[in-house]
């Protein structure tokens, strides 16, 4: 299902590769809360980070992006001179990102004991009709 928010987050994350400051226009500068203590607040902080990272020729593979209400989640395969798997969470208000959490973990060199990587598996939701049931199960 097409989603403007998901497209905005894809563009934001791909901005890491290019250092393009326009990639951060999805961020509401007045309200943005950055939960990564290594990144300055607001879109200026992100633009500076992206510019710095782009100098290392990073690679950003966006594996999957999901949206649920005011949240967009992105699962990424990053190469910033070390390979990390990322799980990014963005909260939106009035069409702009106002909050961000990121979770990074080094990518293992081999598959896990069940034969899977950290990023394989489905990339599309196929059973949307079970969303309510799944939410109840999690609760």
pLDDT in tens, 101-137: 999 999 999 999 999 999 999 888 889 899 899 889 9
**Average pLDDT over the chain, rounded to an integer:** 90
For 118, the enclosing helix (H) or strand (E) is: none
What does the pLDDT read at residue 2?
Answer: 60
**Contact yes or no for 77/85 (Cβ under 8 A):** yes
pLDDT in tens, 20-37: 888 889 999 899 998 887
For 54, the enclosing helix (H) or strand (E) is: helix 42-54
Domains of the chain as residue ranges with CATH: 4-138 (3.10.450.50)
pLDDT in tens, 40-66: 777 777 888 888 888 888 899 999 999
């Amino acid at each position: 299902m097409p989603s403007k928010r998901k497209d905005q987050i894809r563009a934001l994350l791909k901005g890491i590769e290019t250092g393009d400051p326009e990639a951060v226009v999805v961020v509401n500068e007045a309200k943005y809360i950055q939960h990564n203590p290594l990144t300055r607040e607001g879109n200026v902080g992100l633009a500076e980070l992206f510019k710095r990272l782009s100098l290392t020729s990073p690679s950003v593979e966006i594996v999957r992006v999901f949206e649920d209400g005011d949240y967009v989640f992105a699962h990424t395969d990053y190469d910033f001179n070390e390979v990390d798997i990322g799980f990014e969470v963005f909260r939106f208000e009035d069409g702009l990102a106002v909050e961000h959490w990121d979770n990074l973990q080094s990518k293992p060199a081999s598959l896990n004991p069940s034969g899977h990587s950290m990023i394989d598996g489905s990339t599309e939701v196929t059973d949307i009709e079970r969303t309510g049931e799944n939410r109840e199960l999690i609760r």
